[in-house]
Amino acid sequence: MLQKFTPQIYLFFLIFTFFSCKHSSTLPDVSHIDVDVKIERFDQELATLDSAKILEQNKAWSEQYGAFYADFMQYMLEAGNPSDTLHIKKTLSEMLRQRDFKALATAVEKKYPTLKNQENDLTQAFKYVKYYFPEYNLPRFVAYFSGFSVQTPIGDGYIGIGLDMFLGADSEFYPALVGSIPLYLSRRFTPENITPRVVESVLRQELYPQENTDLNTLQHMVYQGKILLALDSILPDMADSLKIGYTAHQMKWANTYQSEIWAWFLQEELLYNTDYLHIQKYFTEAPFTPELGENNASAPKLGTYLGWMMVRKYMQQNPHVTLRQLLANNNAQDILEKSKFKGK
């Protein structure tokens, strides 16, 4: 089944910074929860593919990796349907001869000879996921590289981890990709982003997808705030800047001018604006927000940031509300009013 495949390309809130913040002194005990994440190294298998055994390996991978392999070949690598063996043999043979393929495979292996640290981090994160969402079935985790196409895709029974999209800010590959991946994104393609990006993909695509996008600004703010509040709960020791995708400077700027940003949103009557072409700039990736700040020093995604602060305040004001109850509350106005959020 391929219809479930939903790629997250270059995606949402990516960053490398040093800000850290804890928001709860009473974390739930998840030590008893039976989760042990192991990441399958399809990337290493692809890197060592023997050109004389392409058809043999194609059959073996189809059986071993199932939906992941079908999605990988068709949608990530764009090499064709694995059942079309003649086409697969031709495209993979050509790929193996390319210098770029060999260089990328070498870079991935050098950066990630082992994924033990990532397995440990994901194990801890998904213990929290299972604590808050006990009905969630843990998928298989598969590492791969595909030529910078997809970062953390989710498909039928799997989560993919595109290691070529986490090679580090100093990777030699990213400057050559500025036409499709701006540097303000690629500089955040770092190893420490793997766990938050995987968890965020699960939240956005499986646990709490935004079914309706015909919303006003406040509703978008609350949705984005809920996602980040869930990241607070699942990744309690992680830096705020890493969750939302800010640089250290952007995080400091947003914290410093939070009240002024809120006042500006009210002044411009943005809260109930439903013109997405007008308001989307407050929720999408960008290097800065043009209207605010000087010398392009402002933080981007200010609607997302304010929504996060609002939802945090709501949970502080209503400590009896659980994460599941928060996510079930679709009344953004109610959350605003009960948060008593006034910009701080």
Express each pLDDT in 95-112 by its tens digit. 999 999 999 999 999 999
CA distance readout (Å), 266 to 216, 254, 262, 271, 280: 14, 17, 6, 7, 16
Residue 213 has what pLDDT?
80
Crossing angle of helices 258-267/248-256, nearest 10°?
Answer: 70
145 touches 72 (CB < 8 A): no
> Do 243 and 114 lie in a common domain?
no
* Phi, then psi, of 341 in degrees rounded to 5: -75, 125
Share of the chain above pLDDT 70, in %: 93
Q: 81 and 120 share a domain?
A: yes
**Are residue 49 and residue 145 in the same domain, yes or no?**
yes
User: Mean pLDDT across the stretch 57-63?
Assistant: 97
Q: 146 and 242: one domain? A: no
Averaged confidence pLDDT in the chain: 91
Q: In the prediction, which pLDDT does 24 show?
A: 46
The tokens of 129 are what?
């996921």
Determine the average pLDDT of the residues in 328-341.
97
Helix, strand or coil, per DSSP, at residue 160: strand
Residues 158 and 295 in one domain: no
Residue range 335-339: mean pLDDT, rounded: 98
Is residue 255 domain-resident? yes
How many domains would you assign to the chain? Answer: 2
Of residues 301, 271, 98, 103, the one with CA closest to residue 184: 301
For 143, phi and psi rounded to 5 degrees? -90, 145
pLDDT value of residue 10: 37
- For residue 8, is pLDDT > 60? no
Residue 104 lies in a domain: yes
pLDDT of residue 293: 80
Confidence class for position 333, pLDDT limits 50, 70, 90: very high
Average pLDDT over residues 68-95: 95
Residues 149 and 276 in one domain: no
On whether both 67 and 174 belong to a single domain, the answer is yes
> Do 228 and 185 have their domain in common?
no
Tell me the per-residue pLDDT of 232-291, one tens digit each, with 9 for 90 and over: 999 999 999 999 999 999 999 999 999 999 999 999 999 999 999 999 999 999 999 988
Final residue before a domain boundary, out of 140, 160, 193: 193
Lowest mean pLDDT among 17-21, 229-233, 242-246: 17-21
Q: What is the extent of the structural domain holding 229?
A: 217-339
2, pLDDT greater than 90: no
For residue 221, being part of any structural domain is answered with yes
19 in a structural domain: no
Its pTM stands at 0.90
Residues 227 and 161 in one domain: no
Please give the pLDDT value at position 6.
Answer: 44
166 shares its domain with 230? no
Is residue 23, in this structure, part of any structural domain at all?
A: no
Q: Are residues 257 and 160 in the same domain?
A: no
Domain assignment of residue 185, yes or no: yes
Q: Are 117 and 195 in contact (CB under 8 A)?
A: no
Q: How far is CA 88 from the centre of its chain?
A: 30
Q: Are 159 and 239 found together in one domain?
A: no
Establish if 24 belongs to a structural domain. Answer: no
- Evaluate whether residue 240 is within a structural domain: yes
| Two structure tokens written together for 273 | 């604006």
Are 118 and 162 in contact by the 8 Å Cβ rule? The answer is no
